A and B are shown apart, each in its own frame.
Chain A
Amino acid sequence: MNAAVRLSVSSLRAHKRRFAGTFLAVFLGVAFLTGTLVMGDTLRASFDSMFGNATSGTGAVVRGADAITTPGESQGVRQPVDTALVNTLQQVPGVAAAAPDIEGAGQLVGKNGKPIGGKGPPTLAGNWITDAKLNPYQLAEGRAPQKSGEVVVNRGAAEKGNLKIGDTTTLRTPDPVKVTIVGLATFGGEDGMAQVTFTGMTRADAEKYLTARPGEASSIKVRAGPGVSEKELVGRLTPVLPKGVEAITGQATAQENTDMISSQFLTIFTTFLLVFSGIALLVATFSIHNTFAIVVAQRTRENALLRALGASRRQVTATTLVEATAVAVTASSAGLAGGIGIAAGLQALFPAIGFPFPDGNLVISALSMALPLAVGIVVCLGSALMPAARAGRTAPLAALRETAVDTSGASRARAVTGLGVAALAVATTLSGVLVSPSIGMAALGTVLALVAFVVLGPVAATTAVRILGGPLHKFRGVTGGLARRNALRSPKRTAATASALMIGVAVVSLFTVFGASLKATMDQTVSRSFAGDVAVSTPSFGAGGSGLSPRLAGAVQQLPEVDTAVGLGRGVAKVDGRGRALTVTDPVALQRTFDLGKVDGSLRDLGTDGLALTRAEAGKQHLTTGDSAQLTFTDGQKRTFTVRAVYGRSELAGDYVITRAAWAPHRTQDADTLLAVTFKHGVSTDAGKAAVQKVADRYGSPEVQTRSEYAQSSAGGIDMMLTLVYALLALAVLIALLGIANTLTLAIHERTRELGLLRAVGQTRPQLRAMVRWESVLVAAFGTIGGLGLGAFLGWVLVKASDGAGDSAFAFAIPPVQLAVVALVGLTAGALAGLRPARRAARLDVLRAIATE
């Protein structure tokens, strides 16, 4: 064994405890990363096999060739196919069976009267395909629907709604339909396609409730006869298909479905988790660097002795690096095992929280092992590089001096460099935000700001701790004073320790500020552009739910309390070749309930060939009032519309408005997404709301909300998101706290004699403990306040950059209560981090402490 390795091994053995913190930091980061990757691969594989199973009997799918996709929606809307085509297809040689697949939205109401699902994953309804091999759902219990009103539902949805075979409930299509459950189904062997709910009805019912016109289906599924491959089948079908209709293999549809789930859910899910494991590892970098820096400083004498005895610089550096490698490899390997454990745990947990998850082995790819291992080792070694180089530079003479603790840090060069970078950061950010809005510039500024914070840390640490700790002396006497001095001892160390927490807190505050701003924006949107008294809306978060019955608006309009009730439906069309979402409504009533800003032209007579659009969109498409635009609908029909009005505000009302009459010939399943109601003068909100709710109860009982309730529910998804973000950031904060605890423990080791002296001259154990704890709190306070400042600034940048980049105005809001809570949590956490080191310090034996050399 070479000398450097031998020295490292003996040193590691002697000081195992010192590296416990480093080990934990790397372990947690790597475990999180591994868990994410394994989980992502496993989910992807299981969706693959689920869709494969479910569509294994389908040889080909015949559907509209052209899909109209609107920005922000990947799936697109296709033109329906004529069900009469089924007969033609059945005549094609090699076709064993063909069945129309009618698909629409249908939300079941559970036993407790509450709708099932609808907060993200789709709630689907369709015809129950009688050919068992073509039907992706298999009957698990009961029987298929035979007469009107009978349905089969997937088992997962039935369980969630506490529904059993024989139960009668409501299906919102969105018009409420009374249905009786006669069977339960499974999808690809599971209780459902993830969280998607499905209700299968008879073909007649499906045509009646889910399509605009009978005789239309979303697609036709075709089963191949024996000996006919999917490719051959598609080849034989294609010649008989009318124009605008295509055939693709069953395998291709399964792939499309998997890809869709991947892009809409899995990729976002894993990217999200990867970002957070990245943050955790970044925080770990600071903790690890600190540990090695302290260990090297404490070992100055030992290293100097080695140098005096003839060890080369390289050998001394290598000793530290070998130690780092040993810790890195052990911790990363343990992290891999931990990550697989996390994935296995989640796999067990998912079904328990009602998320069907196929059994089967975890998919552990080479990448999901190699990447975290490499990242763990690089992070650990990279963090130890500078301290190791410093160890190599130890002068042999240092062996003869008193152990010097590194107190440098606040050098002039550092201050100048830091201020330079900070100025550059602010300039870049401001120009990216205010002068010529660009997310790229803002992002660059953000990175520079982070660098400036890290460089300036030690300079700021001295001032900040001095100020923060100022009152301590008054409140806690000499104990507080000593804590403050101790925190000031090595500004570099204090800054590095605090930086870890700072980054964690900065990201937390960034999200808090951004979340609050989003909410404020929604609130502002509603209060500015919604002039109604109450709203009936479907969940705005995700694609679930089935919308509102289009007849609800008419029924509400009949109420004596109501002045105007306007329903907003959604349609899609290509406007001059580009897919766009349309708002289908009564434009005159729309203008009465929504503030549309300045309107050029008139919304009064759009008729069947007129449209209105926002000024921003008009600018993009180079349209003004009087111009004409060609709209292509999902049924393939092209119509020329005249621009009759241009309005200012698109929030809530959308970018394009056409009348119901214009939409009617091209409509698909009819549903409104929002119903806005204004009351007559003298009608109280409560009375009006009650009256509207009464009517709404006849149409599947959607919830009626006052203006403020509506604004709040629009923001509901944000809170959910924030909760998730906080949970994920807990890991980074935990690593930062481990770093503080570790630094303190090392510092206490360094100050053993001093602590012994303090105890000898009369410092009580509680006083000693308080001293260590306060030091911890001071470091945490520095990190927390820095993080809050940085986070708030970055939040402002993000909000302003989004504001500048998008069309809609984006409000900036600082939530004082939440930020105060973040600060409090940071400080409390600091006190907690100090607990263990404080206990250890207080256990010191006075005599042995004094005798320690």
Chain B
Amino acid sequence: MTTTTAVRTAARVVDAVKVYGRGDTEVRALDGVSVGFPAGRLTAIMGPSGSGKSTLLHCAAGLDTLTSGAAYIGDTALDGLDDRRLTLLRRDRVGFVFQAFNLVPTLSVAENITLPLDLAGGNGDPEWLDALIDVVGLRDRLHHRPSELSGGQQQRVAVARAFAGRPDVVFADEPTGNLDSRSGEEVLGLLGRAVRQTSRTVVMVTHDPVAAAHADEVVFLADGRLVDRMESPTADKVLDRMKAFEVSS
């Protein structure tokens, strides 16, 4: 577990194709993408609007199905799973952080964090949950309702929820898209810490080079294809790479 080039991937897609519509209105959102997301790392997916980055995330996470190709969480192939199995897989092995509306308004912060565990009918690992609450720094807010929290706090609750069940992989879809830069920085720092301190895997879609710089690796998509990968990114390097897209297109 010491080498960073471990072959184990937490999630991957192989020859992923996703077609929306038919005939004249056909859109190939994903056009033969193969990519693996190594375990224990924070991977960012970047690309211009319409490049298919959100579609990739949704398909890899089992929220959407591929037109052709295969998607895996760990060694489990997602195609061929019915709705029930997919739901159970999401519940037990995957975590989610969305751009907005991450929390159930009728539940308290604590209940939102344990929601996937409660849905599964289990109790989770109390020590882990306790540690998690400290990591996201919300101990004094546990009994508040989401509407009583700021946007940044709400996203931190969402992150805690995503990690609560110790999932194989957490998918984050523009987690800082709705936040000011300071709150965004907090949330990104939190994701980064979670990956490095607890060996979790995070796959994050973003269009913000600063956010991408928190990742261990960035994969670039354009027109539904994987066009580049970048290890140890910085905001400047990512920005340059993104500019190159605009020139080429």
A residues neighboring B (CB under 8 Å): 477-479, 481-482, 485-486, 488-489, 753-754, 757-765, 767, 846-847, 850
Query: In the complex, what residues of A have CB within 8 A of residue B140's CB?
Result: none
Residues of B within 8 A of A761 (CB): 90-91, 95-96, 115-116, 119, 161
Docked complex Cα distance between A762 and B63 (Å): 11
Tell me, rounded to whole Å, the shortest Cβ–Cβ distance linking A201 to chain B: 79
Say whether, besides A478-B115, A478-B119, A760 and B104 are in contact (CB < 8 Å). no
Contact between B96 and A760 (Cβ–Cβ < 8 Å)? yes
Provided the pairs A761-B90, A761-B119 are in contact, do residues A489 and B106 lie with their beta carbons within 8 angstroms?
yes
Provide the residues of chain B in CB contact with A758, threshold 8 Å.
Answer: 104, 115, 119
Complex partner residue of B63 from A485, A486, A847, CB under 8 angstroms: A847
Question: Given A765-B84, A847-B58, A850-B98, does the pair A482, B104 have CB atoms closer than 8 Å?
Answer: yes
A763, B87: Cβ atoms closer than 8 Å: yes
8 Å CB contact of B101 from A488, A757, A846: A757
> Are A478 and B105 also in contact (CB < 8 A) when A761-B90, A762-B88, A847-B64 are?
no
User: Could you pull out 19 A-B pairs where Cβ atoms are within 8 angstroms?
Assistant: A481-B111, A482-B104, A485-B106, A485-B107, A753-B101, A754-B105, A757-B102, A758-B119, A760-B63, A760-B90, A761-B90, A762-B91, A762-B92, A762-B116, A763-B119, A764-B88, A764-B119, A765-B87, A767-B119
Minimum distance in angstroms from A565 CB to a CB of chain B: 74
Cα distance A762–B87 when bound, in Å?
A: 5
Question: Smallest CB–CB gap between B243 and chain A, Å?
Answer: 29
Q: Which residue of B lies closest to A760 (CB)?
A: B96
In the assembled complex, the CB of B76 is this many whole angstroms from the nearest CB of chain A, namely 15
B23 at the interface (CB under 8 A from A): no
Which residue on A lies nearest to B89, using beta carbons? A762
- Tell me if A765 and B83 are in contact (CB < 8 A): yes
Complex Cα spacing A479 to B104, Å:
13
Whether B118 is near chain A, meaning CB under 8 Å from some CB there, is: yes
CA distance A753 to B98 in the complex (A): 11
Residues of B in contact with A (beta carbons under 8 Å apart):
58, 63-64, 83-84, 87-88, 90-92, 95-96, 98, 101-107, 111, 115-116, 118-121, 161
A850 to chain B: which residues have CB within 8 Å?
Answer: 98, 101
Q: Within the complex, what minimum Cβ distance (angstroms) separates A123 from chain B?
A: 66
Distance from B95 Cβ to chain A, minimum over Cβ atoms (Å): 8
* Known A760-B96, A761-B90, A762-B90; contact A754-B119, beta-carbon cutoff 8 A: no
User: Which of A486, A760, A761, A767 neighbours the largest number of chain B CB atoms within 10 Å of its CB?
Assistant: A761
Chain B residues with CB under 8 Å of A489's CB are: 106
**When A and B form their complex, which 7 residue pairs have the shortest distance between CB atoms, in order from nearest?**
A762-B91, A478-B118, A485-B106, A764-B87, A762-B116, A761-B116, A753-B101
Tell me how far the C-beta of A488 lies from the nearest C-beta in chain B, rounded to whole angstroms. 8
Q: Which residues of B contact A485 (CB under 8 A)?
A: 106-107
| CB closest residue in chain A, given B91 | A762
CB distance from B142 to the nearest CB of A (A): 16
Q: Are B98 and A757 in contact (CB under 8 A)?
A: yes
User: In the complex, what distance in Å separates the CA atom of A762 from the CA atom of B85?
Assistant: 10
Chain A residue numbers with a CB within 8 Å of B87 are 759, 762-765
A489–B145 Cα distance when bound, in Å, is: 13
By beta carbon, the residue of chain B nearest A402 is: B147
Chain A: which residue is nearest B64 at the CB level? A847
- One of B58, B103, B106, B111 near A486 (C-beta < 8 A): B106
Give B232 Cβ to nearest chain A Cβ, in Å.
31
Chain A neighbourhood of B121, CB < 8 A = 477
Q: Please indicate the chain B residues that have their CB under 8 angstroms from the CB of A763 in the complex.
A: 87, 91, 119
Given contacts A762-B87, A762-B116, A763-B119, 19 further A-B contacts (CB under 8 A): A477-B119, A478-B118, A482-B104, A482-B106, A482-B107, A486-B106, A488-B106, A489-B106, A754-B101, A754-B105, A757-B102, A757-B103, A758-B119, A760-B63, A760-B90, A761-B90, A761-B115, A764-B88, A850-B101
What is the bound-complex CA distance between A489 and B64, given in angstroms? 31
Shortest Cβ distance from residue A483 to the other chain B in the assembled complex, whole angstroms: 10
Q: Whole-angstrom distance between the alpha carbons of A761 and B120 in the complex?
A: 10
Chain A residues near B91: list those with CB within 8 A: 761-764
Contact partners of A754 in chain B: CB under 8 A: 101, 104-105
Q: Which of B84, B88, B116 has the most A CB atoms < 10 Å from its CB? A: B116
Q: Which residues of A contact B111 (CB under 8 A)?
A: 478, 481
**Nearest-CB residue, chain B, relative to A473:** B118
B85 to chain A, nearest CB (A): 10
The reply to whether B120 and A757 form a contact with Cβ atoms under 8 Å apart is no
Measured CB to CB, the nearest residue on chain B to A767 is B119
Q: How far is the CA of A753 from the CA of B90 in the complex (A)?
A: 17
CA gap between A760 and B63 in the complex, in Å: 7
B82 to chain A, nearest CB (A): 10
Q: Give Cα A759 to B96, complex, Å.
A: 11
Shortest CB-to-CB span from B199 to chain A, Å, is 22
> How far is the CB of B61 from the nearest CB of chain A, in Å?
8
Cβ contact within 8 Å between A762 and B101: no
Chain B residues with Cβ under 8 A from A762's Cβ? 87-88, 90-92, 116, 119-120
Instruction: Kindly state the separation between the CA atoms of A395 and B178 in the bound complex, as whole angstroms.
Output: 25
Residues of A within 8 A of B95 (CB): 761
**Residue in chain B with minimal CB distance to A765:** B83
Contacts of A765 in B (CB 8 A): 83-84, 87
- B92 proximity list for chain A (CB < 8 A): 762
Bound Cα distance from A758 to B103, whole angstroms: 9
Within 8 Å CB of B104, what residues of A? 482, 754, 757-758
- A477 contacts across to B, CB distance below 8 A: 118-119, 121
Q: Point out the residues of chain A lying under 8 angstroms from B120, CB to CB.
A: 762
B90 partner residues in chain A, CB cutoff 8 A: 760-762
Write the chain B residue with the least CB distance to A755: B104
Taking the nearest CB of chain B, how far is it from the CB of A796, in angstroms?
38
B64: chain A residues within 8 A (beta carbon): 847
In the assembled complex, the Cα of A850 lies from the Cα of B118 at a distance in Å of 21
Q: How far, in Å, is B113 (CB) from chain A's closest CB?
A: 11
CA distance A758 to B83 in the complex (A): 14
Q: Which residue of chain A has its CB nearest to the CB of B101? A: A753
Q: Give bound CA distance, A754 to B111, whole Å.
A: 15
* CA distance in complex: A398, B120 (Å): 38
Distance in Å: Cβ of B64 to nearest Cβ of chain A: 6
Report the bound CA distance from A764 to B101 in whole Å. 19
Q: Name which of A482, A762, A765 has the most chain B CB atoms within 10 A of its CB.
A: A762
A624 to B115, CA, bound (A): 83
A435 CB, min distance to chain B CBs, angstroms: 48
Q: Which residue of A lies closest to B162 (CB)?
A: A761
| Minimum Cβ distance to chain B for residue A461 (Å) | 15
Residue of B nearest to A766 (CB): B84
Residue in A closest to B87 when the chains form the complex, CB atoms: A764
| Chain B residues with CB below 8 A from A753, complex form | 101
In the complex, what distance in Å separates the CA atom of A42 from the CA atom of B233? 88
* B118 proximity list for chain A (CB < 8 A): 477-478, 481
Interface residue from B63, B84, B98, B115 paired with A764 (Cβ < 8 Å): B84
Q: State the CA gap A769–B84 with chains docked (Å).
A: 13
Cα distance A753–B121 when bound, in Å?
23
Complex interface: chain B residues within 8 A of A760 (CB): 63, 90, 96, 98
Q: Tell me the minimal C-beta distance from B151 to chain A in angstroms.
A: 11
Say yes or no: A846 contacts B63, CB within 8 Å: yes
What is the CB-to-nearest-CB distance from A481 to chain B, in angstroms, rounded to a whole number? 8
The minimal Cβ–Cβ distance linking B129 to chain A, given in whole angstroms, is 15
B16 CB → nearest A CB, Å: 16
Residues of A within 8 A of B98 (CB): 757, 760, 850
Please, how many angstroms separate the alpha-carbon atoms of A767 and B105 in the complex? Answer: 18
Residue of A whose beta carbon sits closest to that of B103: A757
Closest to A761 in B: B116
Task: Pick the most buried of A753, A758, A850: most chain B CB atoms within 10 A of its CB.
Answer: A850
Cβ-closest chain A residue relative to B164: A761
Instruction: Give A774 Cβ to nearest chain B Cβ, in Å.
Output: 14
Q: Please, which residues of chain B bring their CB within 8 A of the CB of A478?
A: 111, 115, 118-119
Please measure, in the bound complex, the distance between the C-alpha atom of A758 and the C-alpha atom of B92, giving whole angstroms.
Answer: 14
Query: Which residues of A sit under 8 angstroms from B96, Cβ to Cβ?
Result: 760-761
A626 to B1, CA, bound (A): 118
Closest chain A CB from B176 CB (angstroms): 17
How many Å lie between the Cα of A486 and that of B107 in the bound state? 10
